[in-house]
Amino acid sequence: TCALPIWVKAFQAVVDRYPDSSRASDAMYMISFEYQKLKENAKAVAAYQAFVKQNPDHENTSKAKTRIAELRPAVATKNAKKK
């Protein structure tokens, strides 16, 4: 696990302060994407799932669902290695 970049914290601040705004939806997606870039796949999947649940009609929902499907095998493999 690595330290979160400052922009991930900034995106989270938008979500926390303005949860009902369209910017919060965009920020949620970006948080998910940043976790993916950091190879924090389990966190990315959880964040994408939260995004999809809260934003079923967002323009990035289909992308998020695709990314979840792509990342799940890596998360499952990593979890299997821990056992």
Q: Are 34 and 11 in contact (CB under 8 A)?
A: yes
pLDDT tens, position by position, 23-47: 999 999 999 999 999 999 999 999 9
pLDDT the model gives residue 2 = 60
16 has pLDDT over 90: yes
Q: How confident is the model at residue 83 (pLDDT cuts 50, 70, 90)?
A: low
Residue 29 φ/ψ, nearest 5 degrees = -65, -45
Question: Which residue has 């993916």 as its token pair?
Answer: 36
Alpha carbons 74 and 83: distance in angstroms, whole number: 15
